[in-house]
Amino acid sequence: MQPLSIRKLNVWYGRQQALKDISVDIPRRQITAVIGPSGCGKSTLLKSLNRLLDLNEQVRVTGQVLLDGRNIYDPGVDVTEVRTRIGLLAQKPFPLPLSIFDNVAYGPRIHGLANGRLEQLVTEQLTAVGLWDEVKDRLKAPAAGLSGGQQQRLCLARTLAVAPEILLCDESTASLDPLSARGIEDLLRALKENYTLVMVTHDIDQARRLADHVIFMWLGELVEHGPAGTFFAQPREELTQAYLARRIG
Residues that bind other proteins (CB under 8 A): 50, 52, 55, 57, 80-85, 87-88, 90, 92, 94-99, 102, 106-107, 110-111, 142-144, 155, 158-159, 162
Nearer to other proteins, 78 or 133 (CB): 78
Pick 63 or 142: Cβ nearer other proteins:
142
Element (H, E) at 217: strand 213-218
Minimum distance, C-beta of residue 113 to other proteins, in the bound complex (Å): 11
Min dist CB 36 to other proteins, Å, is: 21
Beta carbon of residue 88, minimum distance to other proteins (angstroms, whole number): 4
* Pairwise CA distance, residues 53 & 12, whole Å: 10
Q: How far apart (Å, rounded) are the C-alpha atoms in residues 176 and 154?
A: 14
∠242-216-23 over CA atoms, to 5°? 140
Considering the complex, state which of residue 12 and residue 106 has its C-beta at the smaller distance from other proteins: 106
| b/e map 2-27, b = 16+ CB within 10 Å | ebbbbeebbbbeeeebbbbebebbbe
- Name the residue nearer to other proteins (CB basis): 94 or 248: 94
CB of 203 to other proteins, least distance (A): 21
Instruction: State the Cα–Cα distance between residues 27 and 158, nearest whole angstrom.
Output: 24
Residues 29, 166: Cα–Cα separation, whole Å: 9
For other proteins, the closer CB: 1 or 55: 55
Question: What minimum distance in Å lies between the beta carbon of 207 and other proteins?
Answer: 23
